[in-house]
Amino acid sequence: MFEDKIGPYSFEVGMYRPPSEGGSHSLLLRFTRNCPWNKCTFCGMYKHEKFSLRSVEEIKGDIASIAGLWREMQDIARTLGHESVVNRDVIYRIIETYPKSSTSDGFGMILNWLSSGAKTAFLQDANSLVMATDNLVEVLHYLRDTFPSIERVTSYARSKTLFRKTQEDLNRIRKAGLDRLHVGLESGDSEVLKRIKKGVTPEEHIEGGRKAMKAGFQLSEYWMPGLGGTERWENHARHTARALNSINPHYIRTRPFSPWPGTPIYDECARGELTLLSPEEQLEELKLMVQELEVTSKLCFDHANNYWTDTDGQLLFSHSYEGYQMPEKKEKVLEIIEKGIIANKGRSEYGYAEIVL
Ligand code: SF4
């Protein structure tokens, strides 16, 4: 838990957010702590942390604290003759008044959010939709009323939770002001999902994704090239494409698998139970998945693990958060993959994954 205290203002900030939320300098608001599932074998994010819900009062308290800090900065700005613009003079004055703010990550996050127009917010941690619908709706209304400048609110969500929520609950949450969901699909292959203990079947992934789309969320589905190893790469690629075709989310985000030390899957790799794909094999798997895609989604490579390079050593794919529009850019993506396969032929190193070997 990371509690920030700046004078009378206190609020919690969690550790993680998707890359695209960093790019938009989102306000990070902690609605729950850690992950309520915490069993995926490839994931080390919350392994040593215990999940807990936060009460409506606690979350509203954080939002009110951040609003209070912003108001004080605007008051200082007016006193200094800068109308209500939060500039360097205002920041210095806050640091003079509350010296701890100079070392506060939360203060830096708030300043970045303000300087980019205070337009987006991300709800932490791993699955805000696990909150009771009434509570989530209440804090979303409070957030929207407190910060009318916010244009987009985003959260992580588990497929299983989307599957379990009623359509009406999802419609209410969407209407209350949650716009975008990031979901870890990882794979559409039932064997891979079982092995990684994702706790969800391909059918539940599809049903949960479809319900989110029907409710009007902008949906990002993440998948992991390489997660099936050499043993299941073909099924992993084909069945993932099949699941994504059935959902047709707004975004498909590619986050290649790399085993983190300390996770169960890392030990499986070390014991030889899962054989990592080489860069060339990963690209062959990606090629098959893209060939099988029939979607109107944007295909994105906006995670650092998309490390493949071309013959000049340049990154193969754009890391843009908006990615490549399907199906218009499908041929272009396949051409890029072909170039990558040639550039990576025979390479034996495993990018981020080589730490295992
Ligand atoms: S649901 Fe997400 S955060 Fe939780 S263990 Fe799985 S991958 Fe990690």
User: What string of DSSP letters covers 67-123?
Assistant: HHHHHHHHHHHHHTTSTT---HHHHHHHHHHSGGGGG-HHHHHHHHHHHTTS-EEEE
Q: Which amino acid is at 38?
A: N
Position 1 scores a pLDDT of: 54
Position 349 scores a pLDDT of: 60
Count of CB atoms situated within 10 Å of the CB of 83: 8
| Dihedral angle, C-alpha 51, 198, 171, 138, nearest 10 ° | 0
Query: Integer distance in angstroms from the first to the last C-alpha of the chain?
Result: 33
Ligand 1 centroid to residue 235 C-alpha, Å: 22
Ligand 1 centroid to residue 20 C-alpha, Å: 18
Closest ligand 1 atom to residue 42 Cα is 7
- 198/218 Cα distance (integer angstroms): 22
Return all residues near 38 (Cβ < 8 A) that are at least 6 apart.
46, 47, 49, 51
Closest ligand 1 atom to residue 35 Cα is 4
Q: Could you read off the pLDDT tens digit of each residue along the chain, which spans 357 residues?
A: 578 889 999 999 999 998 888 888 999 999 999 999 999 999 999 988 999 999 999 999 999 999 999 999 999 999 998 887 888 999 999 999 999 898 888 999 999 999 999 999 999 999 999 999 999 999 999 999 999 999 999 999 999 999 999 999 999 999 999 999 999 999 999 999 999 999 999 999 999 999 999 999 999 999 999 999 999 999 999 999 999 999 999 999 999 999 999 999 999 999 999 999 999 999 999 999 999 999 999 999 998 889 898 888 899 999 999 999 999 999 999 999 999 999 988 776 655 444 433
Q: Is the CB of 43 under 6 A from ligand 1?
A: yes
Ligand 1 centroid to residue 15 C-alpha, Å: 13
Six-digit token pair at 349?
A: 């190193």
Ligand 1 centroid to residue 270 C-alpha, Å: 22
**Minimal-distance CA residue to ligand 1 atom 2:** 126
CA within 13 Å, CB half, 311:
7
> Which of 32, 33, 45 to mutate for ligand 1's pocket (most ligand atoms within 8 Å of CB)?
45
Give strand pairing partners of 253. 222, 300
Closest ligand 1 atom to residue 39 Cα is 5
Ligand 1 centroid to residue 17 C-alpha, Å: 13
**Minimal-distance CA residue to ligand 1 atom 5:** 38
How many helices (H) and strands (E) the chain has is answered by 13, 12
